[in-house]
Chain A
Amino acid sequence: MSVTSAAGTFEGVVWALNEAPAFAPGEAVRILTRTPIGHYRVPTYLRGKSGTVESVIEPAGLDNEQEGFGRNAGSKRHYYRIAIPLTEIWPDYVGSPRDGLRIEVFETWLERI
């Protein structure tokens, strides 16, 4: 196994758990349906909706659910641009079936399908 970074590829270096993004572009994912208290930036209209990973946003970002409570050195999370058809979000969607939504979601809110 090897790790690729801006500095190059190093044989024998292994990524730790959560160090590498869990999802890759093209993978099918679902946004979780949880309804927590506190602070979140995943709109409820997207809970439980399925989409495709369009890209991984680099670098990983500060988890805004921690940042919202002043933890300026909180956990870093992988962050993804997700593509979701509008017909998946709104069953009665009026418009072209190709119309879609794009949104960035932290890894903590995604599951593989």
Chain B
Amino acid sequence: MSAHEHEHEHDHPHAEITAEPAGYYEIMETAVRELLAEKGLIGPAEIRRQIEVLDSRTPALGAKVVARAWVDSGFRARLLADGRAGCEELGISFYDDTQLIVLENTQEVHNLIVCTLCSCYPRPVLGLPPDWYKEKPYRARAVIEPRAVLAEFGTTIPDDVEIRVSDSTAMVRYLVLPRRPDGTEGWSEEALAALVTRDAMIGVVPATLPETVQ
């Protein structure tokens, strides 16, 4: 059996031709893209290339940045001074031409990221945002009742800790640098990175030890 035949044997979420008939908007997307290609304005290879770029960006990149900041104070200082340059130091490119501010959580301050106007998100370093980040409840409420929003994620921040909500508007993106969990002294960078979730880098949860270790 060829690899191609095998690909169509199981439910393959990325296959272009699926059992479902193409919907109105899907047809529109194909039509717009093909018209632009026929006019020589974009090339099919450029779209494929950008899909590869999107696929290459996942929260694992951000976790690597956070873990490095936890173990290397010099890197941490450079990252906090210029988030984009810090990520670029680790080989993470900023294809969307945005700046990055890294927000450090401390004993005194807990940072939370939202984009009330649309869905600004540090895509080069975290990949695409989750649905809830793009939908109304989170966007509307994070700036008016952040503690209630955090509670919905199971996160309780003591009253003596300041909540700092950053609302992205256009050119600047944010990444939360969570607090390093207690009990991780001497851990490898790789083991530390495994503790850092996407949601911790948005600021809706802390970075925690797995329950089996606690």
Contacts and interface: CB of A to CB of B under 8 A. Distances in A.
B116 A45 contact: yes
A90 B172 CA distance: 24
Interface in A80-95: 81, 86, 89-90, 93-95
Interface residues of B, number: 24
Interface in A23-71: 41-43, 45, 57, 61, 64
A101 interface: yes
Contacts of A79: 171-172
B144 interface: yes
B163 A41 contact: no
Nearest to B166: A102
Contacts of A45: 116, 143-144
A20 interface: no
A86 B167 CA distance: 12
Contacts of A104: 168-172
B116 A43 contact: yes
B163 A99 contact: yes
A41 B165 contact: no
B160 interface: yes
Contact of A98 (B144, B148, B162): B162
A82 to B, nearest CB: 10
Question: Taking each of A61, A79, A93, A96, which has the highest tally of chain B beta carbons within 10 Å of its own beta carbon?
Answer: A96
Question: Taking each of A90, A94, A99, A104, which has the highest tally of chain B beta carbons within 10 Å of its own beta carbon?
Answer: A99
A100 B170 contact: no
Contacts of A61: 170-171
Interface in B158-213: 159-172
Would you list the 3 A-B pairs with minimal beta carbon distance, nearest first? A98-B162, A99-B163, A102-B166
Given A41-B169, A101-B166, 6 more contacts: A43-B169, A57-B99, A64-B170, A98-B162, A102-B164, A104-B171
Interface of A: 41-43, 45, 57, 61, 64, 79, 81, 86, 89-90, 93-96, 98-105
5 contacts: A86-B163, A96-B161, A101-B166, A101-B167, A104-B169
